[in-house]
Structure 1
C-alpha cells in the first residue's frame, strides 16, 4: 500500500528585514571602532576633548577626539593659562580636518588621513562638522625634546 502524501500546511516563509534594518536578534552596531572605548586606556575629558591614554614604556599613545567647533584658544586656554598650546603633537590624523596658527602667524592645515607634527606655540581648531581624531605619540612634557623638536615654533634662519 502506497502512503499518501499529505499536503504541507502553508507555512510562513522566513521574513527578511527591510533593507537597512538588522535581522531579528541582532542589534545594530552603533559604535564606531575609531571612537569606541579602548580596553585598558585611561579615559579623560578636558575642555570637551576626549582623550584615551595608554602607557608605552616611557611614552604614551593617545587617541584624542576633538569635537566639531573645538578651538584651543576658546576651550583650553582659560584652563591652561598660556596664550598658546605649548605641547608638541606627533601622530596620525585618522579622521577630520584641523587648522592652526603659530604665534608668528605661520599657519597649518591637515586633513585625514595624514601623519603630522605640530610644534609647541600654536592655536588649533577643528574644521567642519565631524570630529578630528588624532592618534598621538608623546612623552608628556618631554615630547618636543624626545622627538628633537624645538621648544617653540620658529622658522629656520639662513
Structure 2
C-alpha cells in the first residue's frame, strides 16, 4: 500500500486565474501550481490534433509525456505508437503512456484536468 502524501499548506486557486497559460494552435493549457503539485486544465478546440498543434512546440514525432487526468467535457481520441486507439469521453478518468498522437472528436471542445505532466505539457522545449 502506498504511503499517503502529507500536505502542509492550505491553498485554493482557480484555473480562471492560472499561474501560467500556454496557447499553441487550438490549445489552451491553464496551469495552477500548488504545494508539490501542478494541475493543468486542457482546452482543445474542434480540429485540434497533437501532431499538428503541439508537435511544433514539443519537437518530437509523438507525444512523449505520460498523462493522468479526467475528461470534463468533449471527446478525445488517442492513438498509441503500436496503432491501438481509445476514445476518452466526458466523465472518464485516464492514463496515457508516452508515444501517442491524439485529436478532438466531434464539434465540441475537449476539456480535461491533468495531474501528471501539466508542468511541462505544451511548453516550448
TM-score, structure 2 as length reference: 0.76
Q: RMSD of the TM alignment (CA)?
A: 1.8
Structure 1 stretches of 4+ with a deviation exceeding 6 A read: none
Give the structure 2 partner of residue 71 of structure 1. Answer: 49
Question: Structure 2: any 5+ residue segments left out of the alignment?
Answer: 1-13, 121-125
Give the structure 1 partner of residue 107 of structure 2. Answer: 129
For the pair shown, the structure with the greater C-alpha radius of gyration is 1
Match of 1:39 among 4, 7, 17: 17
Give 1:38 shift: 1.5
Aligned residues, how many?
Answer: 106
Cα distance between partner residues in 1 of 2:34 and 2:15: 18
Cα pair 2:24 2:57 within 8 Å, conserved: no
Say if 2:84 is the partner of 1:103. Answer: no
Cα distance between partner residues in 2 of 1:40 and 1:68: 23
SS in 1 for 2:56: helix
Question: Structure 1: any 5+ residue segments left out of the alignment?
Answer: 1-35, 142-158
Give the structure 2 partner of residue 113 of structure 1. Answer: 91
Cα distance between partner residues in 1 of 2:95 and 2:76: 12
More strand by share: 2
For residues 66-107 of structure 1, the C-alpha deviation after alignment (integer angstroms, 9 at most, x for no partner) is: 110101111222332211001111111000001011111111
SS in 1 for 2:23: strand
SS in 1 for 2:107: coil
TM-score, structure 1 as length reference: 0.61
* Higher relative contact order (Cα pairs below 8 Å, separated by 6+ residues): 2
SS in 2 for 1:46: coil
